[in-house]
Amino acid sequence: MFVIGITGGIGTGKSTAAKIFAERGVRVLDADEISKKVTGPQGSALELIRALLGNKAVDSSGNLNRKYVASLVFSDRTKLDKLSAIIHKQVLEEIGLELEKEREKATKVIILDVPIPVQKGFLDVCNQVWVISADEQVRLSRIMDRGMDADDAKRRMAMQMTREEYENLADIVIENNEDEDELREKIEVHIKGELEKRGIRI
Q: Among 97, 85, 94, which Cα is nearest to 48's?
A: 85
When pLDDT is averaged across residues 11-35 and rounded to a whole number, the result is 96
- The residues that bridge with 132 in the sheet, in sequence order, are 174
Quick check: is 171 in a domain? yes
Q: Of the candidates 82, 80, 36, which has an alpha carbon nearest to the alpha carbon of residue 62? A: 36
Provide the pLDDT for residue 86: 94
Would 200 be classed as within a structural domain?
no
Number of domains in the chain: 1
Does the reported pTM lie above 0.75?
yes
21 domain-assigned: yes
Give the domain CATH number at 123: 3.40.50.300
Whether 149 and 74 have beta carbons less than 8 Å apart is answered as no
pLDDT at residue number 42: 87
pLDDT at 46: 93
pLDDT of residue 199: 93
202 found inside a domain? no
Among the residue ranges 59-68, 123-132, 136-145, the one predicted with the least confidence is 59-68
Is residue 201 in some structural domain?
no
Q: Which amino acid is at 42?
A: Q
Dist CA 166 CA 162 (whole Å): 6
- Pick the closest to residue 200 from 101, 99, 134, 128 (CA basis): 128
- CA 105 → CA 19, 28, 93, 173, distances in Å? 22, 15, 19, 30
On the question of pLDDT at 128 being above 90, the answer is yes
Q: What is the pLDDT of residues 48-97, one digit of tens each?
A: 999 999 999 999 888 899 999 999 998 888 999 899 889 989 999 999 99
The answer to whether residue 198 sits within a structural domain is: no
- Please give the angle made by the CA atoms of 112, 116 and 118, to the nearest 5 degrees: 85
Mean pLDDT in residue range 119-123:
90
189: left (phi over 0), alpha (psi -120 to 50) or beta: alpha
Q: Which helix (H) or strand (E) holds 15?
A: helix 14-23
State how far the Cα of 151 lies from the Cα of 156, in Å rounded to an integer. 9
Q: Which residues constitute the domain of residue 6?
A: 2-193
CA proximity to 9, closest of 128, 172, 159 = 159
Mean pLDDT of 3-31: 97
The answer to the question of residue 145 being in a domain is yes
